[in-house]
Amino acid sequence: MQVSKDHPRYHSLVTREMMSDMVKEGIVAPTGLIAHGRGEAFDYLLGEVTSDSARCAERVAVALMLEARNPVISVNGNTAALAGKEVVALSKLVKAKIEVNLFHRSLERMEKVVGHMESLGAKDVLGRHPDAIVPGIASDRAKCTKAGIFSADVVLVPLEDGDRAGALVQLGKKVIAIDLNPLSRTARVAQITIVDEVARAIANMITMWPELSRDEAIRKKIISDFNNRANLTRSLELMCSRLTELADEGKP
């Protein structure tokens, strides 16, 4: 479908078309479109820009990945479609492995998502041959690799479901979630929660890398100063105040 550049929701409409094409290609799961719609609604409340609290969590996330022994970025269909390029660039900067991990897992989809990441320049993508299980998860998301998620100390999990995020925390990992919904179980169970759109969040993280990669003292300080609960509250307060402002505009 041709979308006019003058349309006020141009970017959103183009992204929706791309996501729908990615469903046809088998990269995004059909229910991934529903998850995308939910994300759009929360992003609307944030004004579709990165908030100060999200930027703060993004900085801590980069610092944590740089300090990690074995950082891994977990990629599902939506993340591959929306932010595949950004994931590849960030993984190279922070020396993180990329592991594809799917909720709606099939050999065919796994092949397609891994192939998509490789076509964007990712090397040694993990996930095709799982040889470990994250305990306590009922879905196929439990399947992972020993070299990747299973032995990781820090795992970045964009657009996650709460069960696996919780199970990874139980396994002793530091979990960084990217989730536009500050109320989700994932957002509440992760140690670092970035309430921002996935492509925007990872693009920001890339710009933060030069400063943080040079300064170990800053990395350690922002990690130890960070309070995820307080930061999540700031995201909720921002959404509430935007709603109040909009409601006030309509008052006589």
Interface residues with ligand PTJ (CB under 6 A) are 29, 31-32, 35-36, 38-39, 42, 76-78, 82, 102-104, 159, 161, 178-181, 184, 197-198
| Closest distance to ligand PTJ from the beta carbon of 252 (Å) | 34
Sheet with 174-178, strands from edge to edge, namely: 97-100, 71-75, 154-158, 174-178, 192-194
By C-beta, is 29 or 89 nearer to ligand PTJ? 29
Q: Is 92 exposed, middle or buried (0-12, 13-18, 19+ CB in 10 A)?
A: middle
In degrees and rounded to multiples of 5, residue 70 shows phi and psi of: -145, 75
Q: Which residues pair with 132 in a beta bridge?
A: 144
| Closest distance to ligand PTJ from the beta carbon of 154 (Å) | 19
| Closest distance to ligand PTJ from the beta carbon of 36 (Å) | 5
Q: Which residue is nearest to ligand PTJ (CB)?
A: 39
By C-beta, is 64 or 199 nearer to ligand PTJ? 199
| Closest distance to ligand PTJ from the beta carbon of 102 (Å) | 4
3 state SS of 47 = coil
By C-beta, is 39 or 130 nearer to ligand PTJ? 39
**What is the spatial distance between Cα 50 and Cα 48, in angstroms, rounded to a whole number?**
7
By C-beta, is 91 or 219 nearer to ligand PTJ? 91
**What is the spatial distance between Cα 128 and Cα 83, in angstroms, rounded to a whole number?**
20
